[in-house]
Protein backbone atom coordinates (compact mmCIF):
# COMPACT_ATOMS: atom_id res chain seq x y z
CA UNK A 1 0.00 0.00 0.00
CA UNK A 2 2.30 2.84 -1.12
CA UNK A 3 0.94 6.01 0.42
CA UNK A 4 2.18 8.94 2.44
CA UNK A 5 1.17 8.91 6.11
CA UNK A 6 0.22 12.30 7.50
CA UNK A 7 -0.77 13.07 11.08
CA UNK A 8 -2.15 16.59 11.58
CA UNK A 9 -1.83 17.82 15.15
CA UNK A 10 -5.15 19.65 15.23
CA UNK A 11 -8.52 19.66 13.51
CA UNK A 12 -7.63 22.96 11.86
CA UNK A 13 -4.48 21.44 10.40
CA UNK A 14 -6.45 18.45 9.16
CA UNK A 15 -9.02 20.65 7.43
CA UNK A 16 -6.24 22.73 5.91
CA UNK A 17 -4.55 19.62 4.53
CA UNK A 18 -7.81 18.29 3.12
CA UNK A 19 -8.65 21.62 1.51
CA UNK A 20 -5.57 21.13 -0.63
CA UNK A 21 -5.31 17.32 -0.92
CA UNK A 22 -8.81 16.04 -0.11
CA UNK A 23 -9.52 14.17 -3.36
CA UNK A 24 -6.26 12.18 -3.04
CA UNK A 25 -6.69 11.50 0.67
CA UNK A 26 -8.47 9.10 2.98
CA UNK A 27 -9.06 9.80 6.64
CA UNK A 28 -7.76 7.25 9.13
CA UNK A 29 -9.67 7.03 12.39
CA UNK A 30 -9.56 3.55 13.97
CA UNK A 31 -8.40 1.84 10.80
CA UNK A 32 -10.67 -1.18 11.15
CA UNK A 33 -12.38 -0.41 7.83
CA UNK A 34 -9.77 1.58 5.93
CA UNK A 35 -6.93 -0.91 6.32
CA UNK A 36 -9.15 -3.69 4.98
CA UNK A 37 -10.24 -1.50 2.07
CA UNK A 38 -6.66 -0.73 1.15
CA UNK A 39 -5.62 -4.37 1.41
CA UNK A 40 -8.50 -5.36 -0.85
CA UNK A 41 -7.37 -2.65 -3.26
CA UNK A 42 -10.72 -0.91 -2.97
CA UNK A 43 -8.91 2.23 -1.86
CA UNK A 44 -5.47 3.47 -2.90
CA UNK A 45 -5.12 7.01 -1.63
CA UNK A 46 -2.00 9.09 -2.08
CA UNK A 47 -2.32 10.36 1.49
CA UNK A 48 -3.62 8.64 4.60
CA UNK A 49 -4.54 11.39 7.03
CA UNK A 50 -4.50 10.04 10.59
CA UNK A 51 -7.03 11.99 12.66
CA UNK A 52 -7.41 9.17 15.19
CA UNK A 53 -5.78 11.09 18.00
CA UNK A 54 -7.58 14.41 17.68
CA UNK A 55 -8.93 14.43 21.22
CA UNK A 56 -11.10 17.44 20.43
CA UNK A 57 -13.31 15.07 18.40
CA UNK A 58 -13.62 12.44 21.09
CA UNK A 59 -15.98 12.10 24.02
CA UNK A 60 -19.60 11.87 25.13
CA UNK A 61 -20.98 14.92 26.93
CA UNK A 62 -23.96 17.13 27.60
CA UNK A 63 -23.95 20.40 25.66
CA UNK A 64 -26.32 23.30 25.28
CA UNK A 65 -26.87 25.08 21.98
CA UNK A 66 -29.21 27.96 22.51
CA UNK A 67 -32.38 26.70 24.16
CA UNK A 68 -31.82 23.05 23.20
CA UNK A 69 -29.92 20.52 25.25
CA UNK A 70 -27.98 17.76 23.46
CA UNK A 71 -25.79 14.78 24.02
CA UNK A 72 -22.76 15.29 21.83
CA UNK A 73 -20.70 12.29 20.75
CA UNK A 74 -17.43 13.10 19.00
CA UNK A 75 -16.80 11.26 15.74
CA UNK A 76 -13.56 9.78 17.05
CA UNK A 77 -15.13 8.33 20.17
CA UNK A 78 -14.31 4.63 19.99
CA UNK A 79 -17.15 2.17 19.67
CA UNK A 80 -15.99 0.70 23.00
CA UNK A 81 -16.30 4.12 24.64
CA UNK A 82 -19.83 4.41 23.24
CA UNK A 83 -20.60 0.91 24.53
CA UNK A 84 -19.45 1.72 28.06
CA UNK A 85 -20.51 5.36 28.37
CA UNK A 86 -22.45 5.91 31.61
CA UNK A 87 -24.20 8.88 29.99
CA UNK A 88 -25.48 6.83 27.06
CA UNK A 89 -26.46 3.95 29.36
CA UNK A 90 -28.84 6.42 30.94
CA UNK A 91 -30.04 8.50 27.99
CA UNK A 92 -29.22 6.60 24.80
CA UNK A 93 -29.17 2.94 25.68
CA UNK A 94 -30.01 1.84 22.14
CA UNK A 95 -26.79 3.40 20.90
CA UNK A 96 -24.75 1.70 23.64
CA UNK A 97 -26.36 -1.63 22.75
CA UNK A 98 -25.63 -1.14 19.07
CA UNK A 99 -22.01 -0.39 19.88
CA UNK A 100 -21.80 -3.48 22.10
CA UNK A 101 -23.03 -5.66 19.23
CA UNK A 102 -20.29 -4.58 16.83
CA UNK A 103 -17.57 -7.16 16.05
CA UNK A 104 -15.26 -7.85 19.02
CA UNK A 105 -13.70 -5.98 21.93
CA UNK A 106 -10.47 -5.78 19.95
CA UNK A 107 -12.22 -4.10 17.03
CA UNK A 108 -14.33 -1.87 19.29
CA UNK A 109 -11.22 -0.54 21.04
CA UNK A 110 -10.06 0.93 17.71
CA UNK A 111 -13.20 1.45 15.62
CA UNK A 112 -14.89 4.83 15.97
CA UNK A 113 -18.53 5.87 15.88
CA UNK A 114 -17.79 8.31 13.06
CA UNK A 115 -15.95 5.64 11.11
CA UNK A 116 -18.85 3.19 11.41
CA UNK A 117 -21.26 5.83 10.06
CA UNK A 118 -18.95 7.17 7.34
CA UNK A 119 -18.17 3.67 6.02
CA UNK A 120 -21.94 3.62 5.49
CA UNK A 121 -22.49 -0.09 5.20
CA UNK A 122 -26.25 -0.67 4.89
CA UNK A 123 -25.87 -2.96 7.92
CA UNK A 124 -23.90 -0.51 10.10
CA UNK A 125 -25.05 -1.27 13.62
CA UNK A 126 -24.82 2.21 15.06
CA UNK A 127 -26.86 3.79 12.24
CA UNK A 128 -30.39 2.62 13.18
CA UNK A 129 -29.59 3.41 16.82
CA UNK A 130 -28.55 6.99 15.99
CA UNK A 131 -31.48 7.46 13.62
CA UNK A 132 -34.05 6.72 16.31
CA UNK A 133 -32.38 9.25 18.60
CA UNK A 134 -32.90 11.95 15.94
CA UNK A 135 -29.15 12.42 15.66
CA UNK A 136 -27.67 15.25 13.65
CA UNK A 137 -24.27 14.97 11.99
CA UNK A 138 -21.91 17.91 12.41
CA UNK A 139 -19.67 18.29 9.37
CA UNK A 140 -16.72 20.61 8.83
CA UNK A 141 -15.49 21.47 5.35
CA UNK A 142 -14.01 24.22 3.23
CA UNK A 143 -17.28 26.16 3.42
CA UNK A 144 -17.55 26.00 7.19
CA UNK A 145 -19.56 23.78 9.54
CA UNK A 146 -23.01 22.35 8.84
CA UNK A 147 -25.52 20.27 10.74
CA UNK A 148 -27.35 17.55 8.82
CA UNK A 149 -30.09 15.25 10.10
CA UNK A 150 -28.63 11.77 9.96
CA UNK A 151 -31.46 10.43 7.82
CA UNK A 152 -30.14 12.65 5.00
CA UNK A 153 -26.53 11.54 5.48
CA UNK A 154 -26.57 8.21 3.66
CA UNK A 155 -26.81 8.21 -0.15
CA UNK A 156 -26.30 4.53 -0.98
CA UNK A 157 -24.28 1.49 0.03
CA UNK A 158 -20.94 2.87 1.18
CA UNK A 159 -21.83 6.43 0.12
CA UNK A 160 -22.51 9.51 2.20
CA UNK A 161 -22.95 13.18 1.45
CA UNK A 162 -19.46 13.94 2.74
CA UNK A 163 -17.22 15.65 0.18
CA UNK A 164 -13.52 14.77 -0.23
CA UNK A 165 -12.47 17.78 1.86
CA UNK A 166 -15.01 17.25 4.68
CA UNK A 167 -14.55 15.85 8.15
CA UNK A 168 -17.43 14.48 10.22
CA UNK A 169 -16.95 16.10 13.63
CA UNK A 170 -19.55 14.23 15.60
CA UNK A 171 -23.20 13.71 16.41
CA UNK A 172 -25.70 15.79 18.30
CA UNK A 173 -28.53 13.92 19.97
CA UNK A 174 -31.37 16.17 21.17
CA UNK A 175 -32.24 15.45 24.79
CA UNK A 176 -36.02 15.03 25.00
CA UNK A 177 -38.06 16.38 27.87
CA UNK A 178 -40.12 13.21 28.29
CA UNK A 179 -38.51 9.95 29.37
CA UNK A 180 -37.39 8.12 26.23
CA UNK A 181 -36.52 4.44 26.00
CA UNK A 182 -34.37 3.24 23.13
CA UNK A 183 -32.98 -0.08 22.01
CA UNK A 184 -31.14 -1.84 19.20
CA UNK A 185 -31.84 -5.39 18.17
CA UNK A 186 -29.43 -7.25 15.92
CA UNK A 187 -30.48 -10.40 14.12
CA UNK A 188 -27.48 -12.40 12.93
CA UNK A 189 -26.49 -16.08 12.77
CA UNK A 190 -23.85 -15.74 15.51
CA UNK A 191 -23.96 -13.75 18.73
CA UNK A 192 -20.79 -11.92 17.82
CA UNK A 193 -18.51 -11.19 14.89
CA UNK A 194 -21.35 -11.08 12.37
CA UNK A 195 -22.91 -8.39 10.23
CA UNK A 196 -26.58 -7.83 10.96
CA UNK A 197 -28.95 -9.72 8.68
CA UNK A 198 -31.57 -7.35 10.09
CA UNK A 199 -30.82 -4.47 12.48
CA UNK A 200 -33.61 -2.57 14.22
CA UNK A 201 -33.41 0.61 16.25
CA UNK A 202 -36.45 1.78 18.18
CA UNK A 203 -37.20 4.61 20.55
CA UNK A 204 -40.41 5.38 22.40
CA UNK A 205 -41.52 8.14 24.74
CA UNK A 206 -44.53 7.26 26.86
CA UNK A 207 -46.20 9.61 29.28
CA UNK A 208 -49.12 8.45 31.43
CA UNK A 209 -49.69 5.40 29.25
CA UNK A 210 -49.92 7.44 26.08
CA UNK A 211 -47.36 6.94 23.30
CA UNK A 212 -45.93 10.39 22.88
CA UNK A 213 -43.40 9.70 20.17
CA UNK A 214 -42.03 6.74 18.25
CA UNK A 215 -39.03 6.17 16.04
CA UNK A 216 -38.22 2.98 14.15
CA UNK A 217 -35.15 2.45 11.98
CA UNK A 218 -33.95 -0.52 9.97
CA UNK A 219 -30.47 -1.62 8.97
CA UNK A 220 -29.27 -4.20 6.45
CA UNK A 221 -32.59 -4.27 4.58
CA UNK A 222 -32.23 -1.34 2.18
CA UNK A 223 -29.46 0.45 0.25
CA UNK A 224 -29.00 2.65 3.31
CA UNK A 225 -30.04 2.55 6.97
CA UNK A 226 -33.60 3.86 6.91
CA UNK A 227 -36.42 5.15 9.08
CA UNK A 228 -39.64 3.11 8.86
CA UNK A 229 -41.87 6.18 8.60
CA UNK A 230 -45.13 4.41 7.78
CA UNK A 231 -44.69 2.09 10.76
CA UNK A 232 -44.09 5.11 12.98
CA UNK A 233 -47.27 6.72 11.68
CA UNK A 234 -49.30 3.59 12.49
CA UNK A 235 -48.24 3.78 16.12
CA UNK A 236 -48.65 7.54 16.35
CA UNK A 237 -52.20 7.25 15.07
CA UNK A 238 -52.97 4.31 17.35
CA UNK A 239 -51.83 6.45 20.28
CA UNK A 240 -51.00 3.38 22.33
CA UNK A 241 -48.87 0.24 22.13
CA UNK A 242 -51.60 -2.38 22.03
CA UNK A 243 -50.62 -5.78 20.64
CA UNK A 244 -52.72 -4.99 17.59
CA UNK A 245 -51.02 -1.67 16.96
CA UNK A 246 -47.57 -3.21 17.41
CA UNK A 247 -48.38 -6.04 15.03
CA UNK A 248 -49.69 -3.62 12.42
CA UNK A 249 -46.67 -1.33 12.75
CA UNK A 250 -44.25 -4.26 12.47
CA UNK A 251 -46.06 -5.52 9.40
CA UNK A 252 -45.90 -2.04 7.87
CA UNK A 253 -42.16 -1.87 8.58
CA UNK A 254 -41.63 -5.18 6.78
CA UNK A 255 -43.38 -3.68 3.77
CA UNK A 256 -41.22 -0.55 3.84
CA UNK A 257 -37.98 -2.50 3.87
CA UNK A 258 -36.20 -3.04 0.55
CA UNK A 259 -34.00 -6.05 1.24
CA UNK A 260 -31.94 -7.91 -1.32
CA UNK A 261 -30.73 -11.48 -1.59
CA UNK A 262 -27.09 -11.70 -0.66
CA UNK A 263 -24.60 -14.13 0.78
CA UNK A 264 -25.95 -13.68 4.31
CA UNK A 265 -29.69 -13.99 3.77
CA UNK A 266 -32.49 -13.89 1.22
CA UNK A 267 -34.74 -10.88 0.77
CA UNK A 268 -37.72 -13.02 1.71
CA UNK A 269 -36.16 -14.06 5.02
CA UNK A 270 -35.02 -10.54 5.83
CA UNK A 271 -38.50 -9.18 5.25
CA UNK A 272 -40.00 -11.81 7.57
CA UNK A 273 -37.39 -11.02 10.21
CA UNK A 274 -38.02 -7.27 9.97
CA UNK A 275 -41.56 -7.95 11.09
CA UNK A 276 -40.45 -10.08 14.04
CA UNK A 277 -37.57 -7.86 15.11
CA UNK A 278 -39.45 -4.59 14.71
CA UNK A 279 -42.15 -5.77 17.08
CA UNK A 280 -39.61 -7.01 19.62
CA UNK A 281 -37.57 -3.81 19.41
CA UNK A 282 -40.65 -1.64 19.93
CA UNK A 283 -41.70 -3.72 22.94
CA UNK A 284 -38.24 -3.44 24.43
CA UNK A 285 -38.03 0.29 23.83
CA UNK A 286 -41.41 0.67 25.49
CA UNK A 287 -40.16 -1.23 28.55
CA UNK A 288 -37.10 1.01 28.66
CA UNK A 289 -39.21 4.14 28.57
CA UNK A 290 -41.36 2.92 31.44
CA UNK A 291 -38.36 2.34 33.75
CA UNK B 1 9.89 5.66 1.83
CA UNK B 2 10.60 4.56 5.39
CA UNK B 3 10.27 6.50 8.60
CA UNK B 4 11.10 6.07 12.26
CA UNK B 5 8.62 5.39 15.05
CA UNK B 6 9.07 4.95 18.76
CA UNK B 7 7.04 2.57 20.90
CA UNK B 8 7.24 1.04 24.31
CA UNK B 9 7.14 -2.73 23.89
CA UNK B 10 6.94 -4.88 27.00
CA UNK B 11 8.25 -2.03 29.10
CA UNK B 12 11.20 -1.23 26.86
CA UNK B 13 11.51 1.83 24.64
CA UNK B 14 12.05 0.67 21.07
CA UNK B 15 12.78 2.68 17.93
CA UNK B 16 12.07 1.10 14.55
CA UNK B 17 12.06 2.15 10.93
CA UNK B 18 8.77 1.33 9.22
CA UNK B 19 7.13 1.67 5.82
CA UNK B 20 3.95 3.78 5.65
CA UNK B 21 1.71 0.78 5.05
CA UNK B 22 3.38 -1.46 7.58
CA UNK B 23 1.18 -3.00 10.27
CA UNK B 24 1.91 -3.29 13.97
CA UNK B 25 1.76 -7.10 13.81
CA UNK B 26 4.60 -7.11 11.29
CA UNK B 27 6.67 -4.59 13.27
CA UNK B 28 6.39 -6.85 16.32
CA UNK B 29 7.08 -10.11 14.49
CA UNK B 30 9.56 -9.11 11.82
CA UNK B 31 11.35 -6.00 13.06
CA UNK B 32 11.40 -6.85 16.74
CA UNK B 33 11.48 -10.64 16.46
CA UNK B 34 8.53 -11.08 18.85
CA UNK B 35 6.81 -13.99 17.12
CA UNK B 36 4.53 -14.89 20.00
CA UNK B 37 1.91 -12.67 18.34
CA UNK B 38 0.37 -14.76 15.56
CA UNK B 39 -1.14 -13.96 12.16
CA UNK B 40 -4.31 -15.98 11.67
CA UNK B 41 -6.46 -14.04 9.22
CA UNK B 42 -5.12 -10.54 8.58
CA UNK B 43 -8.64 -9.13 8.68
CA UNK B 44 -9.36 -8.62 12.37
CA UNK B 45 -11.64 -11.67 12.55
CA UNK B 46 -9.67 -14.26 14.52
CA UNK B 47 -7.90 -12.42 17.35
CA UNK B 48 -4.65 -14.42 17.04
CA UNK B 49 -2.79 -11.12 16.63
CA UNK B 50 -4.21 -9.60 19.81
CA UNK B 51 -1.85 -7.35 21.77
CA UNK B 52 -2.51 -4.79 24.48
CA UNK B 53 -2.15 -1.22 23.23
CA UNK B 54 -2.23 1.33 26.03
CA UNK B 55 -3.91 -1.33 28.16
CA UNK B 56 -6.60 -2.22 25.63
CA UNK B 57 -6.87 -5.40 23.59
CA UNK B 58 -6.56 -4.67 19.87
CA UNK B 59 -6.01 -6.63 16.65
CA UNK B 60 -2.46 -5.67 15.73
CA UNK B 61 -3.19 -6.62 12.11
CA UNK B 62 -5.48 -3.60 11.91
CA UNK B 63 -3.11 -1.03 13.44
CA UNK B 64 -0.79 0.89 11.14
CA UNK B 65 2.69 1.03 12.62
CA UNK B 66 2.62 4.83 12.39
CA UNK B 67 -0.65 4.92 14.30
CA UNK B 68 1.11 3.11 17.15
CA UNK B 69 3.72 5.85 17.53
CA UNK B 70 4.25 6.51 21.23
CA UNK B 71 1.99 3.66 22.37
CA UNK B 72 2.60 1.22 25.18
CA UNK B 73 2.39 -2.28 23.71
CA UNK B 74 2.28 -5.55 25.64
CA UNK B 75 2.75 -8.79 23.73
CA UNK B 76 2.54 -12.34 25.08
CA UNK B 77 6.28 -12.27 25.69
CA UNK B 78 5.71 -9.38 28.08
CA UNK B 79 3.67 -11.54 30.45
CA UNK B 80 6.60 -13.70 31.51
CA UNK B 81 9.65 -11.46 31.39
CA UNK B 82 11.84 -13.48 33.72
CA UNK B 83 10.68 -16.80 32.30
CA UNK B 84 8.26 -17.51 35.14
CA UNK B 85 4.74 -17.99 33.88
CA UNK B 86 2.05 -15.38 34.41
CA UNK B 87 -0.94 -16.62 36.47
CA UNK B 88 -3.09 -16.52 33.34
CA UNK B 89 -0.64 -18.72 31.45
CA UNK B 90 -0.44 -21.04 34.46
CA UNK B 91 -4.22 -21.35 34.63
CA UNK B 92 -4.45 -22.13 30.90
CA UNK B 93 -1.95 -24.95 31.32
CA UNK B 94 -3.56 -26.33 34.48
CA UNK B 95 -7.02 -26.35 32.90
CA UNK B 96 -5.86 -27.98 29.67
CA UNK B 97 -6.75 -24.90 27.63
CA UNK B 98 -3.80 -25.24 25.23
CA UNK B 99 -3.76 -27.71 22.33
CA UNK B 100 -1.95 -26.47 19.24
CA UNK B 101 -1.29 -23.20 21.01
CA UNK B 102 -1.84 -20.93 18.02
CA UNK B 103 -4.77 -19.01 19.50
CA UNK B 104 -3.27 -19.03 22.97
CA UNK B 105 -1.25 -15.81 22.99
CA UNK B 106 -4.30 -13.88 21.77
CA UNK B 107 -6.61 -15.68 24.21
CA UNK B 108 -4.28 -15.00 27.13
CA UNK B 109 -3.99 -11.30 26.31
CA UNK B 110 -7.73 -10.95 25.76
CA UNK B 111 -8.17 -12.63 29.15
CA UNK B 112 -5.69 -10.24 30.72
CA UNK B 113 -7.55 -7.27 29.25
CA UNK B 114 -10.81 -8.65 30.68
CA UNK B 115 -9.51 -9.36 34.18
CA UNK B 116 -7.58 -6.08 34.39
CA UNK B 117 -10.87 -4.27 33.91
CA UNK B 118 -13.23 -6.72 35.63
CA UNK B 119 -11.81 -9.20 38.13
CA UNK B 120 -15.12 -11.02 38.53
CA UNK B 121 -16.69 -11.35 35.10
CA UNK B 122 -20.04 -12.98 34.70
CA UNK B 123 -20.37 -15.80 32.21
CA UNK B 124 -21.79 -13.35 29.67
CA UNK B 125 -19.04 -10.81 30.22
CA UNK B 126 -16.38 -13.47 29.83
CA UNK B 127 -17.83 -14.75 26.57
CA UNK B 128 -18.19 -11.23 25.20
CA UNK B 129 -14.57 -10.44 26.09
CA UNK B 130 -13.28 -13.52 24.26
CA UNK B 131 -15.75 -13.40 21.35
CA UNK B 132 -13.04 -11.96 19.13
CA UNK B 133 -10.69 -14.91 19.62
CA UNK B 134 -11.24 -18.05 17.59
CA UNK B 135 -9.93 -21.47 18.67
CA UNK B 136 -10.02 -24.39 16.25
CA UNK B 137 -8.88 -27.05 18.72
CA UNK B 138 -10.38 -26.87 22.19
CA UNK B 139 -14.03 -26.01 21.68
CA UNK B 140 -13.46 -23.16 24.19
CA UNK B 141 -14.61 -25.21 27.22
CA UNK B 142 -11.20 -25.48 28.85
CA UNK B 143 -10.36 -21.88 27.99
CA UNK B 144 -13.47 -20.68 29.79
CA UNK B 145 -12.60 -22.97 32.72
CA UNK B 146 -9.20 -21.29 32.93
CA UNK B 147 -10.77 -17.83 32.97
CA UNK B 148 -13.25 -18.92 35.65
CA UNK B 149 -10.42 -20.32 37.75
CA UNK B 150 -8.72 -16.92 37.58
CA UNK B 151 -11.81 -14.97 38.39
CA UNK B 152 -12.15 -13.81 42.00
CA UNK B 153 -15.76 -14.74 41.83
CA UNK B 154 -14.95 -18.40 41.02
CA UNK B 155 -18.13 -18.80 38.99
CA UNK B 156 -19.52 -22.29 38.84
CA UNK B 157 -21.38 -23.37 35.69
Q: Please give the mean pLDDT across all residues of chain A.
A: 96
Residues A99 and A73 in one domain: yes
Report d(CA A179, CA A287) in Å as an integer.
Answer: 11
Over range A48-76, report the average pLDDT. 97
Q: How far apart are CA A156 and CA A124, in angstroms?
A: 12
Distance of alpha carbon A102 from alpha carbon B17, whole angstroms: 34
CATH class of B87-150: mainly alpha
- Looking at the structure, tell me whether residues A141 and A165 fall in a common domain: yes
A158 and A63 within one domain: yes
CB pairs under 8 A between A and B: 83
Give A-chain residues touching B103 at CB under 8 angstroms. none
Q: Indicate whether A260 and A283 sit together in one domain.
A: yes
Closest CA to A200 of A135, A272, A280, A134: A280
State how far residue B96 is from chain A, nearest Cα, in angstroms.
25
Do A282 and A212 lie in one domain? The reply is yes
Residue A272: domain span: 180-290
> Could you tell me if A142 and A128 lie in one domain?
yes
Q: Are residues A45 and A62 in the same domain?
A: no
Nearest C-alpha neighbor of A8 from the set A30, A28, A38 = A28
Domain final position from A123, A158, A174: A174
Q: Specify the pLDDT at position B2.
A: 74
Domain with CATH 3.10.20.30 in chain B: 3-79
Q: Which CATH class is domain B3-79?
A: alpha beta
B100-143 pLDDT per residue, tens: 999 999 999 999 999 999 999 999 999 999 999 999 999 999 99
Measured between beta carbons, which residues in chain B are less than 8 angstroms from residue A36? 43-44, 62
Residue ending a domain, among A117, A143, A174, is A174
Contact B114, B129 (CB under 8 A): yes
Residues A29 and A65 in one domain: no
Residues of A in contact with B63 (CB under 8 A): 31, 110
Using the 3D structure, point to which of A155, A174, A193 is the last residue of a domain.
A174
pLDDT value of residue B157: 41
CATH number at residue A88: 3.30.465.10
In A, which residues are within 8 Å of B116 by CB distance? none
Interface pTM (ipTM) of the complex?
Answer: 0.96
One domain for residues A165 and A230: no
Chain B: give the shortest CA distance to residue A203, in Å.
25
Residue B23's closest chain A neighbor by CA? Answer: A35
3-state helix, strand, coil in chain A (%, to 5): 40, 30, 35
Q: How far apart are CA A63 and CA A72, in angstroms?
A: 6
CATH 1.10.150.120 segments of chain B? 87-150
pLDDT over threshold 50, residue B24: yes
Cβ contact A128:A217 at 8 Å: yes
Instruction: Enumerate the β-bridge partners of residue B59.
Output: B50
Q: Residue B154 above 70 pLDDT?
A: no
> Do the strands B72-74 and B3-9 form a parallel or antiparallel pair, or are they unpaired?
parallel
b/e sequence A239-269, b meaning 16+ C-beta within 10 Å: eebeeebbebbbebbbebbebeeeeebeeee
Of A1, A110, A192, the CB nearest to B62: A110
Looking at the 3D structure of chain A, how many domains does it have?
Answer: 3
| Whole-prediction pTM | 0.97
Q: What is the 3-state secondary structure (H, E, C) of chain B?
A: CCEEEEEEECCEEEEEEECCCCEHHHHHHHHCCCCCCCCCCCCCCCCCCEEEECCEEEEHHHCEHHHHCCCEEECHHHHCCCCCCCHHHHHHHHCCCCCCCCCHHHHHHHHHHHHHHCCCCCHHHHHHHHCCCCCCCCCCHHHHHHHHHHCCCCCCC
Q: Between chains, do B63 and A31 touch, taking CB under 8 Å as contact?
A: yes
A157 shares a domain with A236: no
The answer to whether residues A22 and A65 belong to one domain is no
Q: Are residues A184 and A164 in the same domain?
A: no
Amino acid sequence: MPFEYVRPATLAEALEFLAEHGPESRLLAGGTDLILEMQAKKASPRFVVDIGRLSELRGVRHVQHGAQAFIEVGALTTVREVETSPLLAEEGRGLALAAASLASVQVRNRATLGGNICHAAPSADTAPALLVLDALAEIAGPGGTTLVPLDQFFLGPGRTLLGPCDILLGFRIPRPIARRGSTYLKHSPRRAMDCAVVGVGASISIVNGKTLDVRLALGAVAPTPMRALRAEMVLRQAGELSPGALAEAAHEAAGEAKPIDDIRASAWYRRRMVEVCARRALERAAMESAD
Amino acid sequence: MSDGIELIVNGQARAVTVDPGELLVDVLRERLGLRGTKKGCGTGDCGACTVLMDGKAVNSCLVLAHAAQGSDIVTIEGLSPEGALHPIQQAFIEQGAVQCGFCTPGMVLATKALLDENAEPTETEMRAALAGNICRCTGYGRIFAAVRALSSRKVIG
